[in-house]
Structure 1
C-alpha cells in the first residue's frame, strides 16, 4: 500500500486558521465530501465518536484522526496543514499542525491498519514533516506525501 492509493490530490488543503478540534473535523468532513463523495455529517460524527475513545494526536505536531464508516467503500485519506497549530490533547501536549485523517469501511480490517501504519511511519519522519511545514501549496504537499517511501512497507 502507498499513500498515493489512499490520498487524492483534491483531499489535500492548507488552512490558515482553525479555532477548535470540532471545527477541524468539520473541515475534514467537507473535504471528504468534495474529494470522495462521502456524507460530511457522517464523517464528522464518526471522527468525533472515535476521538471520544482517546485523542489521536500522536505527538510532534501530528494528528491521525481515523474512523470507520458504513458509507466508505475503501480507505480514503485527507491531509490538512494548519498555518497556526491547534490544541489537540496530543500525547506530548503539543498543538498539531499536520493532520492526516483516514476514513475506512466498517469491514476494512487489515487495510485500515496498514494505512494507519503507513501514514504513521511517514509522518514520524522529521524531514518529511519539515518539508510539509515549509510548503503551503496543496499540490506540493501531495507530492511530498506520495513520493516518500517509508523503510518498512505496509
Structure 2
C-alpha cells in the first residue's frame, strides 16, 4: 500500500510544535486516534513506544518512521508531520529529526505493513523531495506534495 492511499489532509501537519521524542509520539498518536474509532491515543502511543523499544525508527537525514501494529484495527492509517525545530530522536545517524511519518497498521497485516514502509522509505530517500517537504508552509501544501510523490 502506498502512503498516499492511507494519508488524509487532517493527518498532515506542517511545522508542528515538538520538544521531545515522547511529545512527538503523543502528538502523532492523538492525530491518528481521531481517525480510528476503536483505538484511543494511549493505545496508539503504546504501539509506537513498543516498537521504539526495539530500536529507534529514526532512519537518518532528519527522518523518522515510527510505526505500530494494532489489534482489532481494520485499516492502516498514516500521519505525517514536520516540526518547527528538529528534535533528538535517537536516529541511526545521530542527527535530529524534523520529518515524521507515523504508520499504524492492523496486527495481522504484516506483509502490507512491510510494503507500506518500503513505499514510505522510497519517497523520503529523495533528498530533493525532503527539501521540498521542509519548505512547505501549510498543511495543505504538505499534503499536496505527498500526494504528488511517486
- Tell whether the structures are fold-level matches, with TM greater than 0.5: yes
Q: Unaligned 5+ residue runs, structure 1?
A: 150-154
Q: 2: CA distance between counterparts of 1:30 and 1:136?
A: 22
Provide the aligned length of Structure 1 versus Structure 2. 149
Counterpart in the other structure of 1:7: 7
Q: 2: CA distance between counterparts of 1:97 and 1:8?
A: 20
CA RMSD of aligned residues (A): 1.2
Quote how far apart the aligned CAs of 1:4 are.
2.0
Report runs of 4+ in structure 1 exceeding 3 Å deviation: 35-38
1:91 and 2:89 aligned: no
CA deviations on 1:31-67 (whole Å, 9 max, x unpaired) are: 0022333311100011011100000000000000001
1:127 and 2:128 aligned: yes
Counterpart in the other structure of 2:139: 138
Is the Cα contact below 8 Å between 1:11 and 1:31 reproduced in 2?
Answer: yes
Q: 2: CA distance between counterparts of 1:63 and 1:42?
A: 20
* TM superposition score normalised by structure 2: 0.94
* TM superposition score normalised by structure 1: 0.92
Q: Unaligned 5+ residue runs, structure 2?
A: none
Where 1:18 maps in the other structure, the secondary structure is coil
Counterpart in the other structure of 1:51: 52
Counterpart in the other structure of 1:152: none
1:82 and 2:109 aligned: no
